[in-house]
Amino acid sequence: MKAEIIAVGSELLTPDRIDTNSLFLTAELNKLGIEVARKSVVGDHRGDIRRIFAEGLERADVVISTGGLGPTEDDLTREVVADLLGRKLEKNQEVLRGIQERFVRFGRKMAEINVRQAMVPAGATILENPRGTAPGLWLEADGRIVILLPGPPQEMQPMFARQVAERLAKRTDGMRLQTRELRVAGMPESDVDQRIAPIYTKYDSVQTTILASPGEIEVHLRAWSDDVQDAGRMLDELAGKIIIELGDNIFTDKHESLEQVVADVLKSNQATISTAESCTGGLLAERLTRIPGSSIYFLGGVVSYSNELKTAWAAVPKAMIDAHGAVSAEVAIALADGIRRRVGSTLGVGITGVAGPDGGTPEKPVGLVHIAVADGHSPIERRLQYLGDRERVRWQASQTALDMVRRYFLHGTGKRHGAKNA
Amino acid sequence: MKAEIIAVGSELLTPDRIDTNSLFLTAELNKLGIEVARKSVVGDHRGDIRRIFAEGLERADVVISTGGLGPTEDDLTREVVADLLGRKLEKNQEVLRGIQERFVRFGRKMAEINVRQAMVPAGATILENPRGTAPGLWLEADGRIVILLPGPPQEMQPMFARQVAERLAKRTDGMRLQTRELRVAGMPESDVDQRIAPIYTKYDSVQTTILASPGEIEVHLRAWSDDVQDAGRMLDELAGKIIIELGDNIFTDKHESLEQVVADVLKSNQATISTAESCTGGLLAERLTRIPGSSIYFLGGVVSYSNELKTAWAAVPKAMIDAHGAVSAEVAIALADGIRRRVGSTLGVGITGVAGPDGGTPEKPVGLVHIAVADGHSPIERRLQYLGDRERVRWQASQTALDMVRRYFLHGTGKRHGAKNA
């Protein structure tokens, strides 16, 4: 089965707004075994909306739209689709009552204009909207399904989940999409591809996508099949081979962030952490504390931009900074070890570098970052030379720091994923 | 003039990828006075690509596509469009030489497959690609313009700027888009709209859009006109009235972030700042240090998650925490004043709150945050009750903190924007 997704709204044709509803809908449709063949955005113009629905109905089994169901003159989806399918719009008393009650509940008077939202094309199934006034609509014509959903994600998503998914599932042909996702840190994209291409290319029926973002590579495996168990086994087999090949470089086979994995590792080891950051300016602390309940493992951190504060807060000897410079392996280790001792945490992380765009020298260019993890015994230190702008350098440094903490708990145990590094 | 934008690529029809090239192209086309009437995404399928170009050419003056110009079997845009327009593909020796030289420069051998990228439809203008192998193509047929651009933004954007914009400008009908942008902090969207709607609705020829994100409202003004000066004057007049109405709540009339404005205000006042954060976990420090050259005004910050560290790093008396709780106005002020004194900065900012999802109580629910700014004389303190999840609470708290610093320098001077708060 094939679907087309249409986003209606002139604001989505400006440089400031993008349709993201289609990402949610694509994920949900794929789960039901429905492939998305086209996505479109049109403005609030009668002719444009009519044409796009007419074209969609010529090609697709399911046409799903978001937006244009509001009460204003600009909201045309309902009207135009009814007209295109040759259905009369009728005032639905039950929907009208629902809208009126909603206004009463919020202590406001319903404007006459909202009656438009109670107009329903003949033969349509009403999809209730507990989060807003505009109901969704399900229509069928000539074996095609047309689903009109509201634009706001907080209304659209629960409506799809509660009232569309199950109805659609009954109409699909049994094909289902199975997916697996592996996330890799500490390797460039080309290396990942070079090492796993000989593996995944042997699996013709699996679509493998490698998505690269700074400091992180995602490997997505997708297989369409009417035999869910068989496809699942095949994906597990392929994922298993990739995990053996990439070993410790894979930090998760779930849909989760590196900071979440680090949080779990710290908790399962009953370890605590503290941070002393310079060029990342608090980004590492911020990422470690994004996770709910982070106070269990994160005790505290400092952003010691000035040399004086490196000494005051993390006990970095002034003489060391004078001798090696603030951006040096020595200072990174001293930051890590100093903050660990001050805070009394299991681990301390120190970061110092040149985020740019200014401050670089021939010896210490923009993008140079030293990162250390100290445990009171033998500190680990890495010297990195990142590419990219200030934001990218800072992000990659925080990513490497998190990955170093993750690997700290792996080494010698190799228990995660039970795989050795090839 | 009307344009349609087509993004070609099956990966853009998965739940993981979104076409963002169209935002850049929309902004550029609008500047040239060209309106975008439709945006579409299709997969790498011959029939789908052909249909979408054929439809686009029926409606639009300009059809611009991105993607599908690579060397592989999946890259079909060039071939399909040539066929649709009835043009033969010819091997272009100059393009081929360029591709070969590029491979030589990178010390690699050109694969035979890359010859595909030197195939040019008869009559096409070649748009050189200094950043990659695939040239862009400009075709004309029956008064319509078709522009094929590569998918990677780092290739597409300079190609458009250098080789498309000027060519297109010569063909437009003189209509141009003028824009103004105002950013507001510290007011809910509904209040902004209620106060400025009576103003902007009087300007029929200006399209006013209000974009809300957590802690920030953007007011976008857009006017199409063939008289650039006249439209500019009208926008300035409307913007001026809105600035008078919203006064200090507007933090910029430029396309810049709140942290950039705060950075400028700190620098122009030769002031320095330090931070002591609890629930925001370093986000405020991170935002203050995103700005290049931030070491001039940002001296340092602490993330004192534990009560012990609030005392150790910001000298918050233990007895105060015991008496009022860590989340209290008293502790926020003590954090702000303590860090200011420790660091020796002009201002200190203290944040303490309940980011959630856990840790809330009936008296101190999730979303409660106390924020203080101390200057050594009379600290300012605010108690906020934010809605939303952990990420949203933290973001809003950092936004309020930045806005409090901005307003600190405004009060009594009112020099920014020269406007009084209505």
For residue B229, the domain's CATH number is 3.30.70.2860
- Evaluate whether residue A35 is within a structural domain: yes
pLDDT at A109: 82
B290 touches chain A (CB under 8 A): yes
Q: Which of B23, B59, B303 sits opposite A301 (nearest CB)?
A: B303
pLDDT digits (tens, 9 = 90+) for A169-222: 999 888 888 999 999 999 888 889 889 999 999 999 998 888 888 899 999 999
pLDDT interval class at A228 (50, 70, 90): confident
Which of B275, B278, B302, B402 should be substituted to probe chain A, the one whose Cβ sees the most A Cβ atoms within 10 Å? B302
Q: Do B234 and B355 share a structural domain?
A: no
pLDDT at A212: 83
Q: Do A197 and A291 share a structural domain?
A: no
Q: Do A180 and A142 share a structural domain?
A: no
CB A18 to CB B14 under 8 A? no
Q: What is the rounded average pLDDT of the residues B235-249?
A: 97
Q: Do A262 and A247 share a structural domain?
A: no
pLDDT digits (tens, 9 = 90+) for A318-337: 999 999 999 999 999 999 99
- Evaluate whether residue B415 is within a structural domain: no
- Evaluate whether residue A394 is within a structural domain: yes
For residue A28, the domain's CATH number is 3.40.980.10
- Evaluate whether residue B276 is within a structural domain: yes
A42 touches chain B (CB under 8 A): yes
pLDDT at A175: 84
B335 touches chain A (CB under 8 A): no
Q: Do B193 and B164 share a structural domain?
A: no
Q: Do B63 and B188 share a structural domain?
A: no
Q: What is the rounded average pLDDT of the residues A385-401?
A: 95
Q: Which of B16, B283, B299 sits opposite A306 (nearest CB)?
A: B299
pLDDT at B145: 97
Lowest mean pLDDT among A75-84, A216-225, A398-407, B56-65: A216-225
CB B305 to CB A292 under 8 A? no
Q: Do A292 and A246 share a structural domain?
A: no
pLDDT interval class at B188 (50, 70, 90): confident
Q: Do A361 and A301 share a structural domain?
A: yes
Average pLDDT, chain B: 93
- pLDDT above 90: residue B106: no
- Evaluate whether residue B267 is within a structural domain: yes
Residue A39's closest chain B neighbor by CA? B41
pLDDT interval class at A418 (50, 70, 90): very low
Q: What is the rounded average pLDDT of the residues A391-402?
A: 97
Q: Which residues of A touch B220 (CB under 8 A)?
A: 14, 16
pLDDT interval class at B70 (50, 70, 90): confident
pLDDT at B420: 36
Q: Which of B16, B304, B342 sits opposite A300 (nearest CB)?
A: B304
For residue A295, the domain's CATH number is 3.90.950.20
Rounded to a whole number of angstroms, the distance from the CA of A353 to the nearest CA of chain B is 13
Q: Do B163 and B20 share a structural domain?
A: yes
Final residue before a domain boundary, out of A252, A284, A311: A252
Q: What is the rounded average pLDDT of the residues B295-309?
A: 96
Domain range enclosing A383: 258-410
Domain count of the fold of chain A: 3
Average pLDDT, chain A: 93
pLDDT at B61: 96
CB B303 to CB A302 under 8 A? yes
pLDDT digits (tens, 9 = 90+) for A72-127: 888 999 999 999 999 999 999 999 999 898 888 888 888 888 888 899 999 999 99
Rounded to a whole number of angstroms, the distance from the CA of A61 to the nearest CA of chain B is 15
Q: Which residues of B touch A41 (CB under 8 A)?
A: 38-40
Final residue before a domain boundary, out of A252, A270, A295: A252
- Evaluate whether residue B419 is within a structural domain: no
Q: Which of B275, B306, B343 sits opposite A299 (nearest CB)?
A: B306
- Evaluate whether residue A417 is within a structural domain: no
CB B295 to CB A306 under 8 A? yes
Lowest mean pLDDT among A119-133, B109-123, B307-321, B405-419: B405-419
Q: Which residues of B touch A306 (CB under 8 A)?
A: 295, 299-300
CA distance A189 to B56: 36
Final residue before a domain boundary, out of B147, B169, B191: B169
Residue A1: count of CB within 10 angstroms of its CB: 18
Q: Do B397 and B296 share a structural domain?
A: yes
pLDDT digits (tens, 9 = 90+) for A11-34: 899 988 899 999 999 999 998 989
Q: Do A272 and A187 share a structural domain?
A: no
Q: Do A319 and A230 share a structural domain?
A: no
